[in-house]
Amino acid sequence: GAVVSQHPSRVICKSGTSVKIECRSLDFQATTMFWYRQFPKQSLMLMATSNEGSKATYEQGVEKDKFLINHASLTLSTLTVTSAHPEDSSFYICSARDPGGSGTDTQYFGPGTRLTVL
């Protein structure tokens, strides 16, 4: 299957700093990528849809000024958590939609980034 990478895999930062997470589709071009967040013992929650060359679409309750998304190319989307606080500590996972041409587009997920804010 298609491969999606994330960097870094793990990050620890101080409260008030900003953290950037990169998501790359390695063997396909993705006009659409997605960002999810997962708290312990909970399911994945969709945060936003990242569209190449246009503004991201955020889910209800997700602050767009706090979670900045940039999708500058067909293989790269970035999520920046601005002024991070301990409550932002979570597992952040991206996915990319592969337009496989089979009548439906399958989403492939990255390995996730564990963010810990002290």
Partner 1 sequence: DAKTTQPPSMDCAEGRAANLPCNHSTISGNEYVYWYRQIHSQGPQYIIHGLKNNETNEMASLIITEDRKSSTLILPHATLRDTAVYYCIVLFGNEKLTFGTGTRLTIIP
- What string of DSSP letters covers 71-118? EEETTEEEEEE-S--GGG-EEEEEEEEE--SSSS-EEEE---EEEEE-
Is there binding between residue 105 and partner 1 (CB under 8 A)?
A: yes
- Shortest Cβ 110–partner 1 spacing (Å): 5
Single out the residue of 67, 78, 97, 115 in contact with partner 1 (rule: CB under 8 A). 97
Is there binding between residue 53 and partner 1 (CB under 8 A)?
A: no
Single out the residue of 3, 11, 13, 44 in contact with partner 1 (rule: CB under 8 A). 44
Site for partner 1 in 76-95 (CB under 8 A): 91, 93, 95
- What distance in Å separates the CA atoms of residue 15 and residue 5, rounded to the nearest whole number? 26
Is there binding between residue 58 and partner 1 (CB under 8 A)?
A: no
Residues 46/60, Cβ–Cβ less than 8 Å: no
- What distance in Å separates the CA atoms of residue 34 and residue 62, rounded to the nearest whole number? 13
Is there binding between residue 20 and partner 1 (CB under 8 A)?
A: no
- What distance in Å separates the CA atoms of residue 15 and residue 83, rounded to the nearest whole number? 7
Q: Can you give the binding site for partner 1, defined by CB under 8 A?
A: 1, 4, 6, 34, 43-46, 49, 91, 93, 95, 97, 103-112, 114
